[in-house]
Amino acid sequence: MLSFPLVAQKNSLPKFEFTVSVSDPNTHAYHVAMELLDWPTDTVALHLPNWMPGYYQMMDYYKGVKNFKVLSGQSLDDSQPATWMLTGVKGQKVQLEYDVFTDRTFVANSYVDEDRAYIIPVNSFLYAEGNWNVPITVTIEKSNGWTDVATGLELVEEDSQKAVFRADNFDSFLDSPLLMGDLKKLPDFKINGINHRFWGHKMGDFDEKKLMEDLKSVIQVASDIIGHIPYKEYTFIGIGPGRGGIEHLNSSTVSFDGGQMGSQEGYQRMLNFLSHEYFHHYNVKRIRPFELGPFDYQNGSKTTQLWISEGLTSYYAGLMVRRAGIFSEDDFLQDIAAGITQFENNPGKDYQSLIESSFETWHEGPFGKSGKDPNKSISYYIKGPIVGLLMDFGIRQATNNQKSLDDVMRHMYHEYYLKKGRGFTDAEFRDACVSITGTPMTELFQYVYTAKRLDYDTYLGYAGLSLRKEQIKEDDGTLKEVYSLVPIQNPNASQKAILDSWLGKSKKD
């Protein structure tokens, strides 16, 4: 029997208690038992989310729910997708159970096999609309020789048979995946006294100490940019080889394969990836567009500002790895040039703006390739970091290198997350840029709102950088433009100061 002070003081609050068990992992299914206590009305509509925040696609998770049963006698109406309506609930202990079947190894899907169980709450646990700030517990029954559970949830109690976790509200609960198995645990590290850990499944062979030392350096850079760490502990959860990662408030789930880090290029790519997912706990989880919280778990939360949430996160991912001393100057510049090459060879650059790309991602996919005409769409993952780079240099030039995009991100975090406790609007982000810069930044925001061609020469020139282009012939005979980014000869004092402060010092130079 668990007792929480919050529950004792507010007896009128409903309480949700879940238990997860895996009796036979070869079925690729897990069992969920649920108890709902102290519901105040006769009827309750329970829902399963249709998507996972951080992956902006409708997933229809309810299709994996089978064998739904009401054990406590209430009547059930399950005629609507993703909804279970119960009557006769008031003052009763409601007991339910159901199975969740999994068939895809992907970061936005739960998956169970003989080696591990990856459980994402959005396709596992039911919620009641409007009742967000209620206590939730989840008990994970250990079986199949699995001794470990990795999650960002608060641990209440653990023994050899089970682990019990809690959350104070459903947004936090649904944002906290769990990985069960016999997990590898990399060396923990602390920043400002706050613990950071990395647990994972089938992580492969690699230099664990070096990875964690470099990851610590990257996270130190990120916390220095924003000036605050908001969590009590952070967990990287490696779900096994594959592709993709998703950010959470105090954790990230990442497809991780240490075997991909054998080359310097592969190592830097992995650090970029981990850096991206980590920086998201600032940019999108806390510095968030107004539409991204509270979430519409049934219909999706659409916004025009994923170019900020994803594009600027991609920009900072590489920049943080550079400032942490892992990228050499040349490697970093050529990594940026590779993104420019990808963008400039996409015919969609002349048709779709960044805000359109952000809003249409639900139909076109995160990389703009699933719509009716992929040649008329772009990806905010590709153009977003390029525009972020040009904005950074524009701000530095306008302020005599006294301010940068770092100041904008820091302002958005402290003003809207810490002070106001809400998301920001498109106008508020632009106002922050204009206020910090002291200029209207008209052309730079045209790169956001329109498909206007980018003036690389002007903005890269502020940092003494030159973009070079050559044409190569592909195997199929088509011509491709390939770009490289190099420092100019004999930069002036302003250009040198901007470049040096932007790059930071690195042991690689």
SS (H, E, C) 420-455: CCCCECHHHHHHHHHHHHCCCCHHHHHHHHCCCCCC
- pLDDT at residue number 6: 40
CA distance linking residue 378 with residue 366, whole number of Å: 9
- pLDDT at residue number 477: 80
Average of per-residue pLDDT across 69-73: 95
Query: 28 CB contacts (<8 Å, ≥6 apart)?
Result: 101, 102, 103, 111, 112, 113
The answer to whether residues 317 and 279 touch, using CB atoms and an 8 Å cutoff, is yes
What is the pTM for the complete model shown?
A: 0.94
The answer on pLDDT for 415 being more than 90 is yes
The answer to whether residues 343 and 378 touch, using CB atoms and an 8 Å cutoff, is yes
Give the angle subtended at the CA of 261 by the CAs of 257 and 267, to the nearest 5°.
120
The answer to whether residues 250 and 281 touch, using CB atoms and an 8 Å cutoff, is yes
- pLDDT at residue number 373: 80
* Residue keyed to tokens 């102290």: 38
The band of 198, judged by pLDDT with boundaries at 50, 70 and 90, is very high
CA distance linking residue 323 with residue 308, whole number of Å: 21
Average of per-residue pLDDT across 160-187: 97
- pLDDT at residue number 479: 85
CA distance linking residue 318 with residue 327, whole number of Å: 8
Domain boundaries, the chain: 5-179
Class of domain 5-179: mainly beta
The answer on pLDDT for 508 being more than 70 is no
- pLDDT at residue number 505: 66
The answer on pLDDT for 5 being more than 60 is no
The answer to whether residues 61 and 122 touch, using CB atoms and an 8 Å cutoff, is yes
For residue 490, what are its two tokens? 């004999």
**104-136 tens-digit pLDDT:** 999 999 999 999 999 999 999 999 988 899 999
For residue 124, what are its two tokens? 């596992």
- pLDDT at residue number 10: 45
The answer on pLDDT for 368 being more than 80 is no
**446-498 tens-digit pLDDT:** 999 999 999 999 999 999 999 999 999 888 888 899 999 999 999 999 999 99
Per the document, the length of the chain is: 509
